[in-house]
């Protein structure tokens, strides 16, 4: 963790070098919302391997990473493409044993991450009593008796990701990160506090003075952040409300392409390996005209 009040602005490639093969990577994303997908495309292009990806709700970025062979293990409560259906690369990889799925209920995973964020060995929950989730996680979930009442609770072992990757509305060069509105989803709230390193991509880098004028929007302070990358439309095809909506057309294209291994590969060629830069990617998904449409969601 870089406590320094220093300039942390990097390129996508520089920031991607902070992720090592084998890392536990906490990746922001909530269905079709707020996911650092430009960064995910960079991770795929540089060919990261053996990652453990933590997402509360696994989505399209995770499915791409799996299809590209970057992932060994997934820690999540659900993986799908929201209203667009199954995450097929995920499904195939778990069915063949290529990727291990470590599934939790939402509050179990939150408890693991909060324990990490507090530096505690575990936190307890009642979520999942009576389910088979307890039987598959002997190393991370154990039923214990409350020392005060004797009542059964589940101890959820701390989880500290090596690196958290998020996409936000704006930040200054030091890594004071602002959201509009402030963080609501669990990953935005807890990932930066539980992780050892934090990489944030933003729509816009602003002056430190602008942050000081609007501290009510700051969700992550500079002393938690290691890298800041300016990537307009960095969540595309996911949304970053209120700036832009998700790209229904691209979600649909991926949902049908990913039904086969060949289709998935062709999609990655076209949208991930093909464009050399983020700007080229934005051209390929329709350029200014298509992006303007996404801005007019309301």
Partner 1 sequence: MVAIAREYTIDELMVVTLARQFRSEDIVLNGTVSFIPVAAILLARATHAPGLTWVAGAVGVDAQPEPLIGNTLDPTMWKRCVMYLPQEHMWSYVHRGVLETFCIRGAQIDQYGNINNTVIGDYARPKVRLPGSAGMGDMGSLDKRIFIWTTTHTPRTFVERVDFRSCAGYLDGGDSRERLGLKNGPQLVITNLCVMDFEPQSKRMRLKSVHPGVTVEEVQAQTGFPLIIPKEIPRTEPPTVEEICLLREVIDPHGMRRREFRSASGRE
Interface with partner 1, residue 185, by CB under 8 A: yes
- Residue (of 8, 42, 1) closest to 208 by Cα position: 8
Q: Of 227-266, which residues contact partner 1 (CB under 8 A)?
A: 239, 241-242, 245-246
Closest contact distance (angstroms) between CB of 31 and partner 1 is: 5
Binding residue for partner 1 (CB under 8 A) from 79, 159, 163, 220? 79
Closest contact distance (angstroms) between CB of 240 and partner 1 is: 10
Tokens 């324990």 correspond to 115
Strands 152-157 and 141-145: antiparallel
Q: Cα separations (Å) of 104 from 33, 57, 79, 136, 265?
A: 21, 11, 11, 10, 29
Interface with partner 1, residue 106, by CB under 8 A: yes
- Residue (of 186, 282, 238, 243) closest to 82 by Cα position: 238
Binding residue for partner 1 (CB under 8 A) from 10, 76, 156, 227? 76
Vertex 238: Cα angle to 234 and 239 (nearest 5): 90
Binding residue for partner 1 (CB under 8 A) from 86, 155, 173, 205? 86
Helices (H), 97-147: 106-118
Considering beta carbons, is residue 64 or 104 the nearer one to partner 1? 104
Q: How far apart are CA 111 and CA 124, in angstroms?
A: 7
Interface with partner 1, residue 189, by CB under 8 A: yes
Neighbours of 11 (CB within 10 A): 13
Interface with partner 1, residue 219, by CB under 8 A: no
Closest contact distance (angstroms) between CB of 80 and partner 1 is: 4
Interface with partner 1, residue 72, by CB under 8 A: no
| Contacting range for partner 1; rule: CB under 8 A; set: 75-83, 162-170, 256-264, 272-280 | 75-83
Interface with partner 1, residue 126, by CB under 8 A: yes
Q: Of 6-65, which residues contact partner 1 (CB under 8 A)?
A: 30-33, 57-58
Q: Cα separations (Å) of 62 from 37, 44, 47, 95, 138?
A: 9, 11, 14, 16, 25
For partner 1, the binding residues (CB under 8 A) are 30-33, 57-58, 76-80, 82-83, 85-87, 90-91, 94-95, 97, 101, 103-108, 110, 125-133, 136, 151-152, 181, 183-186, 189-190, 239, 241-242, 245-246, 297
């Amino acid at each position: 963790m870089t406590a320094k009040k220093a300039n942390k602005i990097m390129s996508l490639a520089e920031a991607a070098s902070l992720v090592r093969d084998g890392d536990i990577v906490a990746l922001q994303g909530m269905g079709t919302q707020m996911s650092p997908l430009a960064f995910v495309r960079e991770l795929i292009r540089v060919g990261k391997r053996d990652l453990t990806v933590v997402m509360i709700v696994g989505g399209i970025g995770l499915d791409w990473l799996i299809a590209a062979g970057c992932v060994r293990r997934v820690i999540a409560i659900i993986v799908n493409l929201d209203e667009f259906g199954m995450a097929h690369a995920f499904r195939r990889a778990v069915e063949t044993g290529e990727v291990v799925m470590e599934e939790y209920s939402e509050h179990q995973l939150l408890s693991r991450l909060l324990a990490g964020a507090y530096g505690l060995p575990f936190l307890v929950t009642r979520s999942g009593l009576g389910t088979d989730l307890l039987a598959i996680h002997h190393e991370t979930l154990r039923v214990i008796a409350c020392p005060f009442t004797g009542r059964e609770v589940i101890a959820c072992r701390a989880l500290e990701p090596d690196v958290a990757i998020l996409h936000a509305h704006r930040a200054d060069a030091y890594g004071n990160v602002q959201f509009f509105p402030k963080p609501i989803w669990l990953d935005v709230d807890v990932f930066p506090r539980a992780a050892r390193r934090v990489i944030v991509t933003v729509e816009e880098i602003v002056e430190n003075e602008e942050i000081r004028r609007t501290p009510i929007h700051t969700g992550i302070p500079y002393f938690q952040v290691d890298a800041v990358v300016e990537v307009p439309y960095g969540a595309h095809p996911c949304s970053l409300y209120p700036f832009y909506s998700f790209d229904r057309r691209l979600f649909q294209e991926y949902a049908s392409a990913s039904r086969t291994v060949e289709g998935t590969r062709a999609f990655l060629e076209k949208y991930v390996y093909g464009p050399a830069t983020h700007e080229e990617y934005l051209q390929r998904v329709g350029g200014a005209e298509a992006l303007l449409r996404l801005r007019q969601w309301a």
